[in-house]
């Protein structure tokens, strides 16, 4: 990045709240229904209809506010944001302007080992618009109002980020948080989690901000990074070639990897916000806040810290295991099911399990191997019934069948042979059959030792305990 | 039978003197005979007769209430399923409502019969019913005069005995002023008393539905059905509905009446003032006490109203964009053309004027000076009322500065038209209940007396009016040619 310039970034994240019904009507919010089948008279903005606030959306917003240590309430107001667009049925969007439900808070991020606190200016509730469909209508536009009225939490950051990496780290952190809180499914492809980025550059050391451009509707972490980096380069180029950055709204085109102008400041709407007379101010009482607080789950940072101290994990491992609430819960349930094998559980989850899930394209919540059965496997590793190698075979069997580890071990006769008498007998026979190799070993060719280990394992079909084999072989080969 | 009140009709229906079907037929015939009044936009004769038959069946099954089988007319602002709901506008001339307003539902549940939908000023914006797309309504007392507005069709229909009673809505006087000009009883309830769900919004923080009837007793019967909390309207109030009928007989002894000085100033026609004095004397004879009160901020009510109401309406009417329902211009070239021509061609002049005023008042740089200032004034006016109502039980005064004025007399001068609501508008800003009752005549035209009460004191207003109507007969007068 250009050393003479400093980047300033602020993000506005739109998180669709995971309520069952819409923010101001009883219609369902489920994604993917046939166009206009999930839009009731309120969503259609028919004459005479009135909005009624969904209490669950308020609860979710308060949850988020508490999680980012924000000021909440006590008094919050819905406002009408006026503009005409065919997918905005009422000609205004019900949003919040002067008194948002969530006030100033913060989110901590870490980039390349450097921790940083990003300010959250506010988070407010609003209704989503419908969708305009420009394909398939031959010069006309189709309107699908299924999404109209879906609750959104718009999370506005301070202009605290100084690089695309920081912006991505912040966005990931908020993404992780809303999923931990179970207030948003975080599905970026379906648009449940998307953001607008305000980007500007200024000469390093200058206190005032440069003129910013707003990049609209970015719906992946990768695109956020690319769009911001493109925009930084573009702005620096404009200024260095004697031009001026204009305040405008831009769109990121992922196909061409560039941003381009949508509309300038002079075309900007005057939204004529005013309090919505159809809705009473929302009063958040202390008791309600306490009730929500009591139901807050352990948050990602706290969980990660606890994994480090309690399970002795390094930073990276703890981060991997706490990346989602479901994975962390799985891990902790596995530790319990395995009889407290925290280290072993950690190795298996971060290794074989996540590997297999990744390969199959599955989320932890859809893992074919639940923690109970994996716990059964870990128990058998811990008590030496299984060698590591055999354990992998059992894991594969667990993945394929609904049986328990013990059932599989029993059925396939996979028990590790730890009986030294039995192993000794096998070793004796191998020594007797391979006099040449014994001679080589005894004359100092240590490498031949591996040959003997291999022979024993072959004879026991891998079921002999490697520790036991090593010990006995060494003793016997000495002669 | 058309000259009877609801209470009398209910009694006749009960004794079997006539059936609801017969009563409905009689009213439908009168509607037919008096089409020249232009008080209805839609007559729903077939449905009315079916509802009447159902009401007669209900009665036979022993399930009749006071409104069962009573033919009423609803202002064409209440969405009525399967029926054109035009709001007096070309914009909604093709709009068949797919659902019922809560008020309509309540009348259906009570077994009332809907004769049709009444004419009104376009989107309830007007004080003379002259802004209606469907043309002006005649005042039955003087057919060259206006019936008032915006609920002019309902007022004229009740005065002309085309129905037993009607519904109206009142944003700045739209029930009380036409009630006064047509010589009937009209009640605007406390804001939040009657659900606004399905009532097409003009100014949401001021709109309130209410009854328009021949007597206070009828208004009590109607309100009993209309009032109540509705979980579909966040601004409706969760407060039990008292038994208004039981309260009617409360004597006036000791009732403290306040007369706002500001209501009896120079703007008031002296003949009207005289009629009101006589009415107030009557209240004193019935045991009430009178004292003068002052509400200094009342003078700012009209300017405050004409910022707040247009501001709200500018947003409320945005949904009429030609996209999903209502009027759409022909062959739009593009989206902007679709918007501008659909709205330009279908909205009338007064509606456009208010949308423009409201848009301006909410614009960046003007919001504080207009909208916020008006809200502050609104609070001061409310405080004035609250203070006055700690001293007295009710306030009395005129409804309108004049009696019914001539058709076309004020259409060229919007300010003059706005001033006809000078005594009613402040009540909406404060959200208080108020009613208008007939209190005499000037030159053969009715004069209305306004009674304003404290929040949710509809029972007190109705009993005061009822006691007055027990000893006077202004409310029983019928316009010539309509008896």
pLDDT score, position A423: 81
Catalytic one of B20, B75, B106, B314 = B75
Across the range A260-273, mean pLDDT stands at 79
A212: nearest Cα among A227, A197, A226: A197
Find chain B residues with C-beta within 8 A of A272's C-beta: 314-315, 359, 362-364, 367
B/e letters for B445-468, b = 16+ CB within 10 Å, e = fewer, are bbbbbbbbbbbbbbbbbbbbbbbb
pLDDT score, position A445: 85
B224: nearest Cα among B347, B418, B104, B67: B67
Closest-approach residue (CA) in chain B for A83: B318
pLDDT score, position A386: 83
Query: Residue A19 pLDDT > 80, yes or no?
Result: yes
CA distance B209 to B194: 6
pLDDT score, position A422: 79
Annotated active-site residue B19? The verdict is no
Q: Tens of pLDDT along B256-303?
A: 999 999 999 878 889 999 999 999 999 999 999 999 999 999 999 999
pLDDT band per the 50, 70, 90 thresholds, residue A412: confident
Between strands A193-203 and A213-218, the pairing is: antiparallel
- Phi then psi dihedrals of residue A176, to 5 deg: -60, -40
Closest-approach residue (CA) in chain A for B319: A90
| Secondary structure (3-state) at A218 | strand
Find chain A residues with C-beta within 8 A of B359's C-beta: 272
Query: Taking an 8 Å Cβ-Cβ cutoff, which residues of chain B contact chain A?
Result: 78-79, 85, 87, 92, 95, 97-99, 101, 196-201, 203-205, 231-235, 311-312, 314-315, 317-321, 323-326, 335, 339, 359, 362-364, 367, 371
pLDDT band per the 50, 70, 90 thresholds, residue A1: low
- Helix ranges (H only) for B363-483 are 373-391, 414-419, 425-430, 458-471
Query: Residue A267 pLDDT > 90, yes or no?
Result: no
Q: Which ipTM was obtained for this model?
A: 0.96
CA distance B105 to B113: 12
Q: Tens of pLDDT along B98-142?
A: 999 999 999 999 999 999 999 999 999 999 999 999 999 999 999
pLDDT score, position A245: 93
Residue from the list B101, B234, B324 with its beta carbon closest to the beta carbon of A48: B101
User: How close, in Å, is residue A246 to chain B by CA atoms?
Assistant: 21
Annotated active-site residue B445? The verdict is no
Instruction: DSSP for A116-167, please give it.
Output: EEEEEEEEEEEE---EEE-TTSTTS-EEE-SSTT-EEEEEEE-S-B-SHHHH
Catalytic one of B118, B150, B154, B400 = B150
CA distance A236 to B80: 61
Query: Residue B201 pLDDT > 60, yes or no?
Result: yes
User: How close, in Å, is residue A185 to chain B by CA atoms?
Assistant: 29
Query: Residue A421 pLDDT > 70, yes or no?
Result: yes
pLDDT score, position B27: 98
Closest-approach residue (CA) in chain A for B206: A277
Residue from the list A46, A90, A270 with its beta carbon closest to the beta carbon of B364: A270
Across the range A382-399, mean pLDDT stands at 87
Residues B125 and B84: beta-carbon distance below 8 Å:
no
Run of H or E residues at A311:
helix A300-311
Residues B464 and B255: beta-carbon distance below 8 Å:
yes
Closest-approach residue (CA) in chain A for B101: A48
Annotated active-site residue B75? The verdict is yes
Query: Residue B343 pLDDT > 80, yes or no?
Result: yes
The answer to whether the Cβ–Cβ distance between A52 and B315 falls below 8 Å is: no
Q: Name the one residue in this structure whose structure tokens are 């969904």.
A: A54
pLDDT score, position A265: 62
Query: Residue A3 pLDDT > 90, yes or no?
Result: no
Q: Tens of pLDDT along A226-244?
A: 999 999 999 999 999 999 9
pLDDT band per the 50, 70, 90 thresholds, residue A439: confident
Cβ neighbours of A262 (radius 10 Å): 15
pLDDT score, position A263: 73
pLDDT score, position A475: 84
- Helix ranges (H only) for B61-192 are 102-110, 152-159, 176-182
User: How close, in Å, is residue A379 to chain B by CA atoms?
Assistant: 57
User: How close, in Å, is residue A338 to chain B by CA atoms?
Assistant: 52
Query: Residue A123 pLDDT > 60, yes or no?
Result: yes
pLDDT band per the 50, 70, 90 thresholds, residue A264: low
Tell me the torsion sign for CA atoms A38, A42, A43, A47: positive
pLDDT score, position B385: 98
pLDDT score, position B420: 85
Class of domain B6-255+434-476: alpha beta
Query: Residue B438 pLDDT > 80, yes or no?
Result: yes
Q: Tens of pLDDT along A39-65?
A: 999 999 999 999 999 999 999 999 999
Residue of A48, A88, A91, A267 best to disrupt the B interface, most CBs of B under 10 A: A48
Query: Taking an 8 Å Cβ-Cβ cutoff, which residues of chain A contact chain B?
Result: 41, 44-53, 80, 82, 84, 86, 89-92, 141, 143, 270, 272-274, 277-280
Who's near A213: CB < 8 A, 6+ residues apart? Answer: A198, A199, A200, A231, A235, A245, A246, A247, A248, A249, A250, A259
Across the range B180-188, mean pLDDT stands at 98
| Secondary structure (3-state) at B78 | strand
pLDDT score, position B454: 98
Catalytic one of B132, B174, B342, B463 = B174
pTM, to two decimals = 0.90
The answer to whether the Cβ–Cβ distance between B315 and A89 falls below 8 Å is: no
The answer to whether the Cβ–Cβ distance between A48 and B198 falls below 8 Å is: yes
User: How close, in Å, is residue B358 to chain A by CA atoms?
Assistant: 10
- Looking at chain B, the whole-number percentage of residues with pLDDT higher than 70 is 100
pLDDT score, position A140: 83
CA distance A370 to A352: 13
């Amino acid at each position: 990045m250009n050393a003479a310039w400093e980047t300033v970034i602020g993000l506005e994240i739109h998180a669709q709240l995971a309520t069952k019904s819409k923010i101001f009507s009883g219609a369902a919010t489920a994604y993917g229904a046939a166009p206009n089948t999930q839009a009731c008279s309120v969503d259609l903005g028919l004459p005479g209809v009135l909005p009624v606030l969904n209490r669950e959306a308020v609860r979710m917003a308060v949850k988020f506010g508490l999680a980012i240590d924000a000021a909440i309430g006590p008094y919050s107001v819905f406002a009408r944001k006026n503009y005409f667009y065919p997918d905005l049925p009422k000609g205004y969007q019900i949003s919040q302007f002067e008194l948002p439900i969530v006030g100033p808070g913060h989110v901590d991020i870490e980039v390349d080992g450097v921790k940083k606190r990003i300010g959250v200016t506010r988070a407010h509730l609003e209704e989503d618009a419908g969708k305009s469909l420009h394909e398939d209508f031959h010069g006309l536009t189709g309107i699908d109002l299924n999404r109209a009225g879906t609750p959104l939490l718009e999370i506005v950051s301070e202009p605290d980020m100084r690089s695309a990496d920081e912006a991505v780290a912040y966005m990931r952190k908020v993404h992780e948080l809303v999923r931990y809180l179970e207030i948003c499914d975080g599905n970026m492809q379906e648009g449940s989690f998307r953001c607008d980025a305000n980007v500007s550059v200024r000469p390093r050391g200058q206190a005032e901000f440069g003129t910013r451009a707003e990049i609209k509707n970015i719906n992946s972490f990768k695109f956020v990074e690319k769009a911001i980096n493109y925009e930084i380069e573009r702005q620096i180029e404009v200024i260095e070639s004697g031009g001026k950055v204009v305040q405008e709204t831009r769109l990121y085109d992922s196909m061409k990897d560039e941003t381009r102008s949508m509309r300038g400041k002079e075309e900007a709407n005057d939204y004529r916000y005013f309090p919505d007379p159809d809705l009473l101010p929302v009063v958040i009482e202390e008791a309600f806040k306490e009730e929500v607080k009591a139901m807050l789950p352990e948050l990602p940072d706290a969980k990660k810290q606890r994994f480090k101290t309690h399970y002795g994990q390094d930073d990276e491992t703890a981060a991997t295991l706490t990346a989602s609430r479901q994975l962390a819960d799985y891990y902790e349930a596995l530790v319990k099911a395995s009889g407290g094998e925290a280290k072993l559980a950690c190795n298996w989850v971060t290794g074989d399990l996540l590997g297999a899930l990744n390969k199959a394209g599955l989320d932890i919540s859809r893992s074919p191997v639940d923690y109970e059965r994996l716990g059964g496997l870990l128990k058998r590793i811990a008590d030496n019934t299984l060698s590591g190698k055999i354990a992998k075979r059992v894991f594969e069997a667990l993945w394929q069948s609904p049986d328990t580890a013990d059932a599989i071990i029993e059925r396939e006769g996979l028990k590790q042979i730890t009986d030294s008498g039995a192993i000794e007998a096998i070793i004796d026979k191998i020594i007797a059959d391979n006099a040449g190799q014994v001679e080589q070993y005894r004359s100092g060719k240590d490498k031949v030792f591996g040959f003997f280990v291999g022979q024993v394992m072959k004879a026991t079909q891998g079921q002999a305990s490697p520790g036991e084999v090593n010990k006995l072989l060494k003793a016997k080969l000495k002669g | 039978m058309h000259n009877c009140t609801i209470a009398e009709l209910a009694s006749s229906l009960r004794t079997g003197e006539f059936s609801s079907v017969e009563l409905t037929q009689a009213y439908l015939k009168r509607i037919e005979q008096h089409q020249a009044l232009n008080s209805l936009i839609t007559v729903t004769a077939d449905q009315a007769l079916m509802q009447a038959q159902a009401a007669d069946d209900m009665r036979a099954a022993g399930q009749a209430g006071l409104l069962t089988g009573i033919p009423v007319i609803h202002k064409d602002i209440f969405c009525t399923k399967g029926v054109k709901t035009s709001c007096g506008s070309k914009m909604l001339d093709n709009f068949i409502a797919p659902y019922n307003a809560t008020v309509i539902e309540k009348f259906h549940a009570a077994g009332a019969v809907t004769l049709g939908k009444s004419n009104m000023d376009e989107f309830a914006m007007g004080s003379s019913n002259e802004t209606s797309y469907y043309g002006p309504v005649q005042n039955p007392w003087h057919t060259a005069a206006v019936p008032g507005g915006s609920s002019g069709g309902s007022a004229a229909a009740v005065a002309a005995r085309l129905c037993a009673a009607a519904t109206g809505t009142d944003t700045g006087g739209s029930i009380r002023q036409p009630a006064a000009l047509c010589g009937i009883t009209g009640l605007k309830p406390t804001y939040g008393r009657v659900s606004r769900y399905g009532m097409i919004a003009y100014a949401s923080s001021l709109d309130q539905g209410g009854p328009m009837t021949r007597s206070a007793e009828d208004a009590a019967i109607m309100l009993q059905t209309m009032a109540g909390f509705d979980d579909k309207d966040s601004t409706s109030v969760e407060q039990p509905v008292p038994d208004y009928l039981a309260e009617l007989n409360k004597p006036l002894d000791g009732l403290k009446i306040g007369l706002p000085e500001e209501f009896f100033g120079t703007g008031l026609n002296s003949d009207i003032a005289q009629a009101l004095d006589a009415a107030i004397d009557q209240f004193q004879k019935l045991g009430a006490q009178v004292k003068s009160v002052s509400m200094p901020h009342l003078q700012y009510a009209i300017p405050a109203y004409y910022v707040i109401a247009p501001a709200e309406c500018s947003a409320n009417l945005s949904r009429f964009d030609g996209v999903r329902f209502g009027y759409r211009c022909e062959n739009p070239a593009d989206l902007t053309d679709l918007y501008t021509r659909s709205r330009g061609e279908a909205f009338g002049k007064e509606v456009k004027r208010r949308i423009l005023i409201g848009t301006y008042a909410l614009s960046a740089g003007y919001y504080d000076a207009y909208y916020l200032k008006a809200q502050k004034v609104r609070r001061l006016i409310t405080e004035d009322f609250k203070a006055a109502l700690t001293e007295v039980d009710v306030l009395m005064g005129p409804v309108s500065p004049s009696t019914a004025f001539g058709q076309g007399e004020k259409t060229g001068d919007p300010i003059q038209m706005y001033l006809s609501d000078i005594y009613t508008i402040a009540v909406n800003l404060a959200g208080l209940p108020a009613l208008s009752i007939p209190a005499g005549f000037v030159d053969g035209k009715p004069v209305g007396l306004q009674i304003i009460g404290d929040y949710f004191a509809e029972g007190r207003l109705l009993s005061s009016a009822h006691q007055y109507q027990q000893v006077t007969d202004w409310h029983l007068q019928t316009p010539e040619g309509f008896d």
